[in-house]
């Protein structure tokens, strides 16, 4: 069966389903591999630990949801540290040795209301009355609620 490229584009609400560490065979560069589940398919991204680009790797780790100060014992090797986190990725295609491959070009904080950053319970309680009042106004304006259903 031929290799199917992941469709290019920007994907929100992308779940991290697995991850681990490895070393590239040619240059012996360590990297973190991450399996992302988009609405289209699974795709694996590789985030290399390149000398001189430590800031980029640190930013990527933070974006992936890593909150620790050390990678030792943090669960990066067994898939527990980042699995379940939600991000936004950009998928592109690249040519290499005459073949086209898909790649995760960028990882960003999730940019949708899909639940990537859940409010704390205290914040939710503070805003719930405003959300509820807005919802009830919307229901009333659309004629989907009976007057007796609304407390105002």
CATH number of 81's domain: 2.40.50
Residue numbers of the domain that contains 13: 9-109
pTM of the model: 0.71
Distance, CA of 44 to CA of 135 (rounded, Å): 40
- Structure confidence at residue 51 (pLDDT): 92
Residues 14 and 35 placed together within one structural domain of the fold:
yes
Of 9, 16, 21, 149, give the one whose Cα is nearest residue 74.
Answer: 21
Distance, CA of 52 to CA of 149 (rounded, Å): 62
Say yes or no to pLDDT of 75 above 90: no
- The reply to whether 4 falls in a domain is no
Number of domains in the chain: 2
Ramachandran assignment for 54, one of left (phi > 0), alpha (psi -120 to 50 degrees), beta (any other): alpha
> The tokens 């859940």 sit on which residue?
118
What mean pLDDT is predicted for residues 132-146? 71
Which segments of 16-114 does DSSP mark as H helices, in order?
A: 54-63
Residues 87 and 149 placed together within one structural domain of the fold:
no
Q: In this structure, is the dihedral angle defined by the CA atoms of residues 14, 83, 5 and 26, taken in order, positive or negative?
A: positive
Residues 105 and 128 placed together within one structural domain of the fold:
no
What mean pLDDT is predicted for residues 105-116? 75
- Structure confidence at residue 104 (pLDDT): 97
- Greater confidence (29 vs 77) lies with 29
Of 5-14, 27-36, 119-128, the range with the lowest mean pLDDT is: 119-128
User: Distance between terminal CA atoms of the chain?
Assistant: 62
At 146, the pLDDT band (50, 70, 90 cuts) reads low
| Mean of all residue pLDDT scores within the chain | 85
> The tokens 């199917």 sit on which residue?
4
């Amino acid at each position: 069966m031929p290799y199917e490229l992941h469709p290019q584009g920007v994907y929100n609400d992308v779940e991290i389903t697995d991850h681990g560490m490895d070393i590239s065979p040619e240059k012996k560069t360590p990297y973190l591999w991450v399996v992302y589940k988009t609405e289209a398919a699974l795709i694996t991204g590789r985030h290399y630990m390149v000398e001189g680009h430590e800031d980029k790797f640190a930013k990527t780790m933070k974006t992936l949801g890593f909150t620790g100060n050390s990678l030792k014992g943090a669960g990066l090797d067994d898939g527990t540290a980042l699995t379940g986190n939600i991000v936004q990725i950009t998928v592109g295609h690249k040519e290499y040795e005459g073949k086209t491959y898909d790649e995760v070009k960028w990882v960003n904080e999730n940019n949708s209301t899909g639940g990537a950053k859940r409010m704390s319970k205290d914040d939710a309680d503070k805003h719930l009355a405003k959300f509820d009042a807005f919802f009830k106004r919307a229901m009333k304006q659309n004629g989907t609620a009976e007057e007796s259903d609304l407390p105002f």
